[in-house]
Structure 1
Amino acid sequence: MRKRLLLACAFAATFAAQAQKLTATEKKIVATVQRNMPQSEKLLVQVVNINSGTLNLKGVREVGDIFRKEFDAIGFKTSWVDMPAEVQRAGHLVAQRKGKKGKKLFLIGHLDTVFELDMPFSPYTQLNDSTATGQGVNDMKGGDVVMLAALQALQQNGLLDNTTITAYFTGDEERKGTGDAARADFIAKAKESDVALAFESAAGLHSVATARRGSSGWQLKTYGQAAHSSGIFKPNVGYGAVFEAARILDEFREKLSQEQYLTFNPGLIVGGSEVKYDAAKAHGEAVGKTNIISPEVDVAGDLRFLTEQQKEDARTKMRDIVAHSLPNTRAEITFTDGLPGMPPTPGNQKLATLADQVSRDLGFGPVTAGDPGSRGAGDVSIVAQYLDCLDGLGSSGKGAHAPGETMNTKEFPLLVQRAALMIYRLTR
């Protein structure tokens, strides 16, 4: 008992010493966040319980309307950016205020999730005293609420006056609409800012992202000579489309798989006597028999990278592998751009240093930049070439993009406090 009491006293003394590093105003911000937490948690439950899969345009708009009312209430001017009908996406929510104090901030969230209407629905559920589950609770409705709750605490203390902040919530981060219109306004408003803070899910209380990998797609087609299987490998017949596809994929693995931050995944393969592949629906059908050499194979995959140079170098190597076909076969590969990479920069690291200092001042401990290889692509990467960026400021948890996705509810209020003080210090 005496040992536990001494440890408790030591912890209290340490926290008190850390708290002395906060100004009186910052202590008020923290207290406001804590006081508002029941309201913030209620809002989180409300938005998680609305399906907003990217293709559920009504659901995305419904979540956007909820956040719009919250931003209207704290003095932001809100608007909805509609997409052209052919893009088939709900659009984006923008909340802005303009002033002359401190840095101009661009805060990034998204309203959609990967869970479409035809998938089993998982409502918000508190599993235990530190864990909740629900569709998008972590990626990224939890992060959206972290951002909003931080701004609410600042507004309630009169600390948003004369600041320039744009909060931008895209409606199709998980399945970005095609065409320039999908992100034209997003890029334009980012260019008006000095710093971008993105509230995608955090790797934990002690990690942020100064870099993220980009993503792109590729489609491989191989062709062979249809013939009876007894003739395979003979000079007049050749190896067929399946062996040619297997050769190429295995050479990709052998020659590119050890490069840091570079990954590629063949996510769908269809081959046979008759092949149908619909890229828009990510759906394939094939008909074939074991005694017929397949004349065609389609392979769809992704390619992830840290820099544009790494992406282009990988594509060059892949094209070269594809060009050296087996006898009586041929192959072709095409690439499609997706999200660019977000390389680490000194400016990004400076923001990570700010996150670290705020965390230490709050008594939460150090914050470091996480491994870029552990993160996929995100909207922040689209604007990383224009301004300093930091990501991973949202809620923490596990299992994003999968049934049973969770959020750490004990870290949730601490992440709001950290975000609020970061925004406060950047806008002074």
Structure 2
Amino acid sequence: MPRLAALACVLLFALPVAAAQPALAPVEQRITSAVDAGNGDAVALLRRMVEQSSGTHHHAGVEAVAALLKPEFEALGFTVEWKPMAHTGRAGHLIASHRGNGKGQRMLLIGHLDTVFEPDNAFTGFRIEGNHAIGPGVGDDKGGVAVILLALRALHAAGALRDADITVVLTGDEEDVGQPVAQARADLIAAGKRADVALDFENLSHADGRDMGAIARRSSNTWTLTVRGETGHSAGIFSEAMGDGAAFELARILAAFHAELPEPNLTFNVGLLGGGEQAAFAADKTRLDASGKDNIVPGIALARGDFRTLSVEQTRRVGEKMRAIVARHLPRTDATLEIEENYPPMAPTAGNRALLAKLNEVNRDLGLEAMGELDPLSRGAGDISFVAADVDGLVGMGASGGNSHAEGEYIELDSLPKQAKRAALLMHRLALTPR
């Protein structure tokens, strides 16, 4: 062999060889084709869901959406149950169960039926403008429910659903959880204890224009501060007899929160405050009435807000710091702090990261870009957090969109089949993975 040819041959074998793009298995090709074939029906179902108002406190509307979805799951072989939640002040939850062969991973799919838009909201209807579907709750979370059903229908059409063990829990009060929370979320928690994997179908997350995987959500905790002091003519303020008054004590506490609480992954907020000679919260604590005069030292001051954390330990630690700050009273004042832990945190775990790695294998095989980890500060609290202590999970398997909780809420229509393919292939592979 001539020397140049031999050298060329050596160089050729020395060059790195690009990894071959893994091909989808035949059944996976059938699944993705079934997603494309069923996308029109998914959009039609989405329209029907959005046109039915289902604000959290519109119980009849929430139940109507559940009734709309019940036959959709039953047609796929699911056993469907409506769980009334009148004892928590809410409509109820839809739970659909499909029992497989008992060999693969048990999956829990989480979404919700309710929206923030009550029937008297001016933002109503459903319309399509280009690639956008627009309407109340279209993304949060009716688009996510549409993705669930599009993925399940595709699995069913491809013959891949038969052996899968899947429970779907669609809560009716995700936007304003019923009370007591332990009862409002008892069914979801029980489903989480039975599952190996949880997939949350709220909106897909983005960062710098890229689809992101969310492996964590922060908690949502509410605090209520009640401050009392002596009241009387303002000429006596700061005296030994009068002390500093409730308003200055409230200001002292809030300033100390601002100075002493900050730490990574924590946010805290004051949402409502007021004080005077008299002050009281309304029953729902979203308003307060206060009265006073410029020459009267306020005898009461009230504040209410939230704080959000990434771990149970952080919730405990921050609560203790807040209580210690409140306990350092100014002269002749007193204060009490009540903390309600509404949504627990979903901490980032090795199991969650491993699940994201499995989803990125699906992305690779679909020719999609790998999804990085989303900053937990970029997502609010959600239902998956109630099962996070028991099961590995991913957040954001729903549609891509924007303007959530606001007029003009929308989803990108082309995200429905993309997200359904991701979800269906991930579920198919999990169903083949031994427990």
TM-score, reference length from structure 1: 0.92
**Equivalent residue runs for 1:316-395 within 5 Å:** 316-395=320-399
Q: For 1:237 and 1:193, locate their aligned partners in 2 and report how far apart those are by CA, in whole Å.
A: 60
Is this contact kept in 2: 1:395–1:408, CA < 8 A? yes
Shift of 1:31: 1.2
Q: For 2:285 and 2:310, locate their aligned partners in 1 and report how far apart those are by CA, in whole Å.
A: 27
Amino acid at match of 2:401: G
Over 3 Å counting, the alpha-carbon distance change for 1:356 and 1:98 in structure 2 is: same
Q: For 2:48 and 2:391, locate their aligned partners in 1 and report how far apart those are by CA, in whole Å.
A: 33
Shift of 1:373: 1.3
**Equivalent residue runs for 1:162-201 within 5 Å:** 162-179=163-180, 180-201=182-203
| CA deviation string 1:232-251 (max 9, x = no partner) | 23333222211111111111
| CA deviation string 1:350-407 (max 9, x = no partner) | 1101111111211121112211111111111101111111111111112222222221
| CA deviation string 1:124-168 (max 9, x = no partner) | 2223x2323211111111111111110001101111112211111
Shift of 1:281: 4.9
Q: For 1:200 and 1:282, locate their aligned partners in 2 and report how far apart those are by CA, in whole Å.
A: 26
Q: For 1:354 and 1:369, locate their aligned partners in 2 and report how far apart those are by CA, in whole Å.
A: 13
Say which of 236, 241, 244 aligns to 1:239.
Answer: 244
Q: For 1:358 and 1:46, locate their aligned partners in 2 and report how far apart those are by CA, in whole Å.
A: 30
**Matched positions, count:** 408
Range 397-406 or range 320-329, more displaced: 397-406
Is this contact kept in 2: 1:270–1:277, CA < 8 A? no
Q: Which residue of 2 aligns with 1:306?
A: 310
Amino acid at match of 1:312: R
Amino acid at match of 2:232: A
Q: Which residue of 1 aligns with 2:265?
A: 261
Range 275-284 or range 95-104, more displaced: 275-284
Shift of 1:279: 4.8
Say which of 416, 420, 426 aligns to 1:416.
Answer: 420
Q: For 2:197 and 2:351, locate their aligned partners in 1 and report how far apart those are by CA, in whole Å.
A: 9
Q: Which residue of 1 aligns with 2:137?
A: 136
Q: Which residue of 1 aligns with 2:17?
A: none
Shift of 1:297: 1.0
Q: Which residue of 2 aligns with 1:111?
A: 113
Amino acid at match of 2:320: T
Is this contact kept in 1: 2:164–2:428, CA < 8 A? no
Q: Which residue of 2 aligns with 1:209?
A: 214
What's the secondary structure of 2:297's corresponding residue? coil
Shift of 1:198: 1.0
Q: Which runs of 5+ in 1 are unaligned?
A: 1-16
Amino acid at match of 1:407: I
Amino acid at match of 1:141: K
Shift of 1:119: 2.7
Q: Which residue of 2 aligns with 1:90?
A: 91
| CA deviation string 1:289-313 (max 9, x = no partner) | 2222211011111111011110111
Is this contact kept in 1: 2:163–2:431, CA < 8 A? no
Q: For 2:228 and 2:120, locate their aligned partners in 1 and report how far apart those are by CA, in whole Å.
A: 35
What's the secondary structure of 1:53's corresponding residue? coil
Range 66-75 or range 401-410, more displaced: 401-410
Q: For 2:230 and 2:236, locate their aligned partners in 1 and report how far apart those are by CA, in whole Å.
A: 10
Amino acid at match of 2:271: G
Q: For 2:293 and 2:256, locate their aligned partners in 1 and report how far apart those are by CA, in whole Å.
A: 27
Tell me if 1:251 matches 2:253. no
Q: For 1:206 and 1:237, locate their aligned partners in 2 and report how far apart those are by CA, in whole Å.
A: 59
Q: For 1:281 and 1:301, locate their aligned partners in 2 and report how far apart those are by CA, in whole Å.
A: 10
Is this contact kept in 2: 1:224–1:241, CA < 8 A? yes
Q: For 1:149 and 1:372, locate their aligned partners in 2 and report how far apart those are by CA, in whole Å.
A: 28
The RMSD of aligned alpha carbons is: 1.5
Shift of 1:189: 2.1
Amino acid at match of 1:222: V
Identity of aligned residues (%): 43
Q: For 2:336 and 2:376, locate their aligned partners in 1 and report how far apart those are by CA, in whole Å.
A: 31
| CA deviation string 1:267-301 (max 9, x = no partner) | 11121111121353522111122222211011111
Q: Which residue of 2 aligns with 1:78?
A: 80
Q: Which runs of 5+ in 2 are unaligned?
A: 1-19
Shift of 1:181: 2.2
Is this contact kept in 2: 1:213–1:304, CA < 8 A? yes
Shift of 1:255: 1.0
Amino acid at match of 2:168: A
| CA deviation string 1:192-236 (max 9, x = no partner) | 121111111111462121111011111101112212223323333
Is this contact kept in 1: 2:109–2:200, CA < 8 A? yes
Q: Which residue of 2 aligns with 1:161?
A: 162
